[in-house]
Amino acid sequence: MRRPLTRRAATAVAAAALLLPLISAAPSAGADAPPPADGLQQAFAHAAERYDVPLNVLLGVSYLESRWDGHGGAPSVSGGYGPMHLTDARTALAGLPHHSDADEDPRGDESRARKAPSTRKAPSSRKLPADLRVPERLRTLERAARLTGLPAERLRSDPAANISGGAALLADEQRRLGLRPGPDPADWYAAVARYGSGTDGAGSGFADEVFAVLRQGVTRTTDAGQRVALAGAPDLRPDATQLRRAGTRAAPSGRLTGDDDLECPRRVACVAVPAPYEEFGDGDYGNHDKSDRPEDQSIDTIVVHDTEATWEQTLKLVQDPTYVSWHYTIRSADGLIAQHVPTKDVAWHAGNWYVNSHSIGIEHEGFLAQPDAWYTEAMYRASARLVRYLADEYDLPLDRQHIIGHDNVPGTTPATIKGMHTDPGPYWDWAHYFELLGEPFTRTAGPHGGLVTIRPDYDRNRPVYTDCQKAGEVCAPHGSTAVRLHTEPSGTAPLVKDIGLRPDGSPSTTGVNDTGARASTGQRYAVAERRGAWTAIWYLGQKAWFHNPWYRPTAVDAKGLVATPRAGLAEIPVYGRAYPEASAYPPGVPVQALTPLPYKLLSGQRYAIGERVRGEYFYSPTFDRSRQVVVRGNEVYYEIQVGHRVGYVRAADVEVRRSDR
């Protein structure tokens, strides 16, 4: 069983941090001729007065949708525009979801042969239905245009017009509910809920978050350098009975199965959309494995994904027994959570069976409608609440060794490295996410601590990416969670190589899906050298440099435990899974090869440690659970931050040291 090196003690202060708004005083990099610093505040005031909406309600709804950012007129991952997240998602529905690659195996286990297309429908052959309708909640910009008389393009690109559109929608929702617009914020609970969720009744969680912000208040400088303030109202208590009195149907919560209750935190909207566990006539089955975690296997990782599909399409797919599965999906507009698989069971989501066996997968609604797509505050907050709940349940430390992206999951063998997924990508704001978790990334050591935690300023950090829409085409500028890694302390030096992605030894690229020379916020690396404004870390067996000037640091100093090749070993291998030694397998269970990845860690190099684990393999090749076996060996591994993805090294190959020695 897995044993963390340290145990996080849950505290009331940390839990309360979920409700704390992020306060930032730093404007993003440079717009020409910026508008007056209080122009956006005035726009909110004018719209509130015109449509008879309480100013704090309008500000609170906008904060939950966008944190008052305009994103330069670019849409969110669910096709929402501007501070009020007016949605126009029709053009974003053409793509297939990211689990639909024909050459991919999200289960990541060779013991269960994948069926040929003749006996099992190939995911790549799936097409969106011709009559697919865009739900009302993803086309609110149309209604805002009708209500305000403003053209759609202006509602997308002009923040003041966008705010007017949002105010008009709120007032219209109030009238639809048979309620009068008026100055008392407590009377707007149902309208706020419907603004976030449409008419499906699942917006109570969104409304609760909005009113939590109204009680606390927040002040922030937006991505356009606009200072916006919302004064707190600690005694504000909304009339939550409005939804019932207005006849708005509630979203059914339900159960996952006859025996499994929903596993969700309080004060979020959560529904059951069970993934099927079914056997097919050809001997195949799907779309997850029954288990009894954490009794038979530990849960030590939460994997963050994005869907590259709409909420409706995602729910249809996860209910398809011939597709794959994950444990939760979170809706963008309002943070509604759907649970599909009990956390005790193993979902097929990460592409690495060892990781699947020990993890919980959370999908976040989104498709990259534009290269600089953004995620809503409502989704970030709901996700943070869910992760905090799960971390408390399974005693997981809240750090980037245990809360990882799909793009941090290692390939299982050299052959699978190229096919591993790259979501949620460089635009997922890990720093803000961990602020909401109550565990911000801060300096924990002096300059001789031996480790650094990557932590660029998200808004100011705008590395050039390519290939968002077309090969070779530069992506629109956007804040990023990642720093780029070079072979020398110079921005003109080549990017470091990832021999797993490019066996020919060619350098990494600036492609948005190329993780070969990328270090991401919250990840910890051992310092190899410092030279002026540049810091080198040990990365994929080489020295990798990133720009880290004292006046605008992109990392903070840290300390902890590191692994280094044992004395006398010139190099050691890295593995993509921590499987037992051959002698541990009982008769009837095929031995899983300990195939090293193509990365070599050389003598003297050091890598930050995440977990100490004992080799383990979950054998579950058929629908018949009586054949399941959990194989446990004596071989011990350390999980390390080997590159952008994690990896595993044998304890027998390394020495463990303090990073500051």
Q: Do 66 and 153 fall within a single domain? A: yes
Q: Do 480 and 586 fall within a single domain? A: no
Which of 85-94, 251-260, 309-318, 641-650 has the least mean pLDDT?
A: 85-94
Banded pLDDT at 134 (limits 50, 70, 90): low
3-state secondary structure 333-345: CCCCEEECCCCCC
Banded pLDDT at 121 (limits 50, 70, 90): very low
Q: Do 51 and 142 fall within a single domain? A: yes
pLDDT (tens digit, 9 = 90+) per residue, 172-181?
Answer: 999 999 998 8
Sign of CA dihedral 601, 603, 607, 611: positive
User: What is the rounded distance in angstroms from the CA atom of residue 55 to the CA atom of residue 45?
Assistant: 6
Whether residue 133 is predicted with pLDDT greater than 70 in this model: the reply is: no
Mean pLDDT, to the nearest integer, of 516-537?
Answer: 98
Confidence (pLDDT) at 256: 83
Token pair 């990133």 is found at: 546
Banded pLDDT at 201 (limits 50, 70, 90): low
First to last CA, the chain: 30
User: Residue 113 to residues 109, 180, 289: CA-CA distances in angstroms?
Assistant: 8, 61, 15
User: What is the rounded distance in angstroms from the CA atom of residue 210 to the CA atom of residue 232?
Assistant: 12
Q: Report yes or no: 453 and 556 within 8 Å, Cβ to Cβ.
A: yes
User: What is the rounded distance in angstroms from the CA atom of residue 273 to the CA atom of residue 435?
Assistant: 29
| More confident position, 345 or 477 | 345
Confidence (pLDDT) at 76: 80
Mean pLDDT, to the nearest integer, of 114-132?
Answer: 41
Q: Do 36 and 87 fall within a single domain? A: yes
Q: Is 539 a domain residue?
A: yes
pLDDT (tens digit, 9 = 90+) per residue, 614-627?
Answer: 999 999 999 989 99
Q: Is 378 a domain residue?
A: no
| More confident position, 149 or 308 | 149
Q: Which residues contact 158 (CB under 8 A, 6 or more apart)?
A: 82
> By C-alpha distance, which of 210, 209, 222 is closest to 166?
210
Q: Report yes or no: 276 and 340 within 8 Å, Cβ to Cβ.
A: no
Give the end of a domain, one of 245, 267, 288.
245
Mean pLDDT, to the nearest integer, of 359-363?
Answer: 97
User: What is the rounded distance in angstroms from the CA atom of residue 380 to the CA atom of residue 367?
Assistant: 16
| More confident position, 297 or 125 | 297
Mean pLDDT value across the chain? 86
Confidence (pLDDT) at 333: 83
pLDDT (tens digit, 9 = 90+) per residue, 530-584?
Answer: 999 999 999 999 999 999 999 999 999 999 999 999 999 999 999 999 999 999 9
> By C-alpha distance, which of 384, 408, 398, 402 is closest to 481?
408
Q: Do 581 and 494 fall within a single domain? A: no
Confidence (pLDDT) at 248: 58
Whether residue 6 is predicted with pLDDT greater than 90 in this model: the reply is: no
Give the end of a domain, one of 507, 529, 559.
559
Burial of 550 (0-12, 13-18, 19+ CB in 10 A): exposed
Which of 125-134, 143-152, 508-517 has the least mean pLDDT?
A: 125-134
Q: Do 33 and 64 fall within a single domain? A: yes
pLDDT (tens digit, 9 = 90+) per residue, 411-427?
Answer: 999 999 999 999 888 98
Domain with 579 in it: 564-658
Q: Do 613 and 538 fall within a single domain? A: no
Mean pLDDT, to the nearest integer, of 242-264?
Answer: 74
Q: Do 506 and 590 fall within a single domain? A: no
Confidence (pLDDT) at 366: 75
User: What is the rounded distance in angstroms from the CA atom of residue 18 to the CA atom of residue 526?
Assistant: 30
Banded pLDDT at 490 (limits 50, 70, 90): very high
Q: For the chain, what is the domain count? A: 3
Q: Is 412 a domain residue?
A: no
Whether residue 22 is predicted with pLDDT greater than 50 in this model: the reply is: no
* The total number of residues written for the chain in this structure: 661
Q: Do 468 and 534 fall within a single domain? A: yes
Q: Which residues contact 404 (CB under 8 A, 6 or more apart)?
A: 301, 302, 303, 304, 646
Token pair 């809503």 is found at: 376
Q: Do 476 and 577 fall within a single domain? A: no
Whether residue 354 is predicted with pLDDT greater than 50 in this model: the reply is: yes
- pTM listed for this prediction: 0.88
Banded pLDDT at 163 (limits 50, 70, 90): very high
- Neighbouring-strand partners of residue 602: 571
Q: Do 499 and 601 fall within a single domain? A: no
Q: Do 138 and 20 fall within a single domain? A: yes
Sign of CA dihedral 175, 179, 185, 188: negative
3-class secondary-structure state, position 554: coil
Which of 85-94, 386-395, 523-532 has the least mean pLDDT?
A: 85-94
Which of 92-96, 287-291, 517-521, 569-573 has the least mean pLDDT?
A: 92-96
Mean pLDDT, to the nearest integer, of 257-285?
Answer: 88
Phi, psi dihedral angles at 496 (to 5 degrees) = -65, 160
> By C-alpha distance, which of 8, 5, 9 is closest to 639?
5
Burial of 591 (0-12, 13-18, 19+ CB in 10 A): middle
3-class secondary-structure state, position 351: coil
Whether residue 390 is predicted with pLDDT greater than 80 in this model: the reply is: yes
- Neighbouring-strand partners of residue 286: 278
Give the end of a domain, one of 559, 591, 620.
559
Confidence (pLDDT) at 127: 46
Q: Is 491 a domain residue?
A: yes
Whether residue 112 is predicted with pLDDT greater than 90 in this model: the reply is: no
Is beta strand 270-272 parallel, antiparallel or unpaired with respect to 337-339?
parallel
User: What is the rounded distance in angstroms from the CA atom of residue 183 to the CA atom of residue 171?
Assistant: 12
Q: Report yes or no: 147 and 30 within 8 Å, Cβ to Cβ.
A: no
Q: Is 526 a domain residue?
A: yes
3-class secondary-structure state, position 549: coil
User: What is the rounded distance in angstroms from the CA atom of residue 387 to the CA atom of residue 398?
Assistant: 9
Q: Is 295 a domain residue?
A: no
Confidence (pLDDT) at 239: 84
Whether residue 372 is predicted with pLDDT greater than 80 in this model: the reply is: no
Banded pLDDT at 1 (limits 50, 70, 90): very low
Mean pLDDT, to the nearest integer, of 212-238?
Answer: 95
Q: Report yes or no: 125 and 105 within 8 Å, Cβ to Cβ.
A: no
Whether residue 3 is predicted with pLDDT greater than 60 in this model: the reply is: no
Confidence (pLDDT) at 471: 82
Sign of CA dihedral 284, 288, 290, 293: positive
| More confident position, 78 or 92 | 78
Banded pLDDT at 249 (limits 50, 70, 90): low
Q: Report yes or no: 536 and 605 within 8 Å, Cβ to Cβ.
A: no
> By C-alpha distance, which of 642, 635, 638 is closest to 657?
638
- Neighbouring-strand partners of residue 228: 220
User: What is the rounded distance in angstroms from the CA atom of residue 210 to the CA atom of residue 326?
Assistant: 28
3-state helix, strand, coil in the chain (%, to 5): 25, 20, 55
Banded pLDDT at 14 (limits 50, 70, 90): very low
Q: 357-385 burial string, b = 16+ CB within 10 Å, else e?
A: bbbbbbbbbbbbbbbbbbbbbbbbbbbbb
